[in-house]
Structure 1
Amino acid sequence: MHAQEPASPAAPAGITEALAHSPSLAGHGELVRRMTAELAREIIEGELPSGCQLTSAELGRRFGTSRTPVREALGVLQREGLVEIEPRRRPRVVTLSLPEVRDLYEIRAGLYALIAGAVAERAADDEIQQLDEPLARLRTARDAGDAQAYFYATVDFRRVEAAICPNRRVGALIDSLGLRIYRLRSFGLSLPGRLEVSCRDYGYLVDAYRARDRALAEAVTRSLMSKALAAIEKHWSRLAEPLPAARTTSARARQHSR
């Protein structure tokens, strides 16, 4: 009998919630949703790096299903910007380009500055107070040096921030950027020194909200984005370098079974 691959951890709530807001999953059943969320987590956290091949047969064996639901899940991941599927080639994890990343961060900076200004000026006091819980988790994860927990706390912080924003359309625009943004954020926060700098700025951002200082909230938000992008640019080769073509999900499974 073949050794069974260890089950993947359940996808964190941040990824599951992001997918729940995505039109990419409309009409898909629970199995496709679960596969999509678990594969998204593995790509975002770097278990499946750039260029890693994702074959329908291997994933079907792993999840105990036929190739059709697997192809549906891969199609969702393609629309979310995590997987590329080309004719006559196996699906693989996207290898991002630096110009694309710069464009995405420019868009994010503009959208989150819009959120920051609206929250500072028009969100209710009790709504701003809702940011205290994810901010506390940011600080706990920073103190523990846990970059992964810190990343998921930032996901929750940003989702609360979008939810309390009086502009109800901007959150959907951010969601439309897809999960490729999560992959970049997770990588950036894993870099040396990033947790301390990021956590300090999130604290400044909440202080600006409480002070109702729109200009400061927008400036802190843009600073968060520019520092994150600068760190990614500095360590770009670590994220963008594709794996050899022979590397597939089966190779990853053998590594996990050792």
Structure 2
Amino acid sequence: MTEAAEEPTFITQALSRAMGLEGQGALVRRMVTVLATEIIEGTLPANYPLTSVEVGQRFKTSRTPVRQALGLLQREGLVAIEPRRRPRVASLTLPEIRDIYQIRASLYAVISRSIVQAAPDEAIARLHAPLRRMKLAVHTGDALDYFYGTVDFRWIEAEICPNRSVGPLIESLGLRTYRLRRFGLAVPGRTEISFRDYSRLVEAYEDRDADLAVAVGGSIMTKALQVIEKNWPAVDAP
């Protein structure tokens, strides 16, 4: 690993929301944010070793805060810590990925139906801000910024959803879903297809068409999983 970079502020808020970093010390927050960002964005590949000594040297700290940071990353499914083995970037098998997407599809179906049935018009209108960001990223060819646009979109979706129980269930899947989504959206041509689907989803919300919203949301999940299934082994196999 290279020397620690400055904390990537563009993702700090998203990671803090997902991981509950508010109660952690500044150094632990910085280590978690930097390492999580590098894992999500693919800088640190699956099975990359993350020893306490090496991480401690990189961030100029002792083993105790390193272990704390790695423990938080393990909880989110980004790091694997096993007996008699060095900590490493977690790998995911295709069956595990399919399970994750099946759960996500079911939960987002609940969110879509709930939004159509009970979310106020002004709440649904909030989805246009991340949609504009995603549109710009498509035009500029910035797949990474497009990914972060989808992160904002999904967070707003959960916030405006009248069903207050489903959001925490999605969060419980951890940041491993960020890693999968970033990977899939990096495949050439994916952002254009994805943007069309997200635009249709917002239209279905605004038209109060629950069946269409659920169908479009399911299509987003199916297409994303198909891309990952096709490309994952060649790039990120254990």
Which residue does 1:150 correspond to in 2? 146
Alpha-carbon RMSD across the aligned residues, in angstroms, is 1.7
- Preserved CA contact (<8 Å) 1:201 1:224: yes
| Residues 77-156 of structure 1 mapped to structure 2, 5 A cutoff | 77-156=73-152
TM-score (norm 1): 0.87
Q: Which amino acid aligns with 2:194?
A: S
- Preserved CA contact (<8 Å) 2:119 2:161: yes
Equivalent of 1:228, from 224, 227, 238?
A: 224
- Preserved CA contact (<8 Å) 2:111 2:157: yes
Q: For the residues of structure 2 that align with 1:15 and 1:179, how far apart are their CA atoms? A: 13
Deviation at 1:206, TM superposition (A): 0.5
Q: For the residues of structure 1 that align with 2:205 and 2:66, how far apart are their CA atoms? A: 44
- Preserved CA contact (<8 Å) 1:32 1:72: yes
Deviation at 1:112, TM superposition (A): 0.8
Matched, 1:211 2:207: yes
Q: For the residues of structure 1 that align with 2:112 and 2:9, how far apart are their CA atoms? A: 25
Note closer, same or farther for the CA distance 1:223–1:39 as it changes in structure 2 (3 Å cut).
same
Matched, 1:45 2:36: no
TM-score (norm 2): 0.95
Deviation at 1:32, TM superposition (A): 1.0
Question: Any idea what SS the aligned residue of 2:45 has?
Answer: coil
- Preserved CA contact (<8 Å) 1:57 1:67: yes
Structure 2 spans left out of the alignment, 5+ residues: none
Q: For the residues of structure 2 that align with 1:184 and 1:15, how far apart are their CA atoms? A: 18
Question: Any idea what SS the aligned residue of 1:235 has?
Answer: helix
Q: For the residues of structure 2 that align with 1:14 and 1:163, how far apart are their CA atoms? A: 18
Between 1 and 2, higher relative CO (CA 8 Å, sep ≥ 6) is seen in 1
Higher mean alpha-carbon deviation, 162-171 vs 30-39, is at: 30-39
Higher mean alpha-carbon deviation, 44-53 vs 58-67, is at: 58-67
- Preserved CA contact (<8 Å) 1:139 1:199: yes
Q: For the residues of structure 1 that align with 2:236 and 2:12, how far apart are their CA atoms? A: 22
Which residue does 1:245 correspond to in 2? none
| Residues 160-239 of structure 1 mapped to structure 2, 5 A cutoff | 160-239=156-235
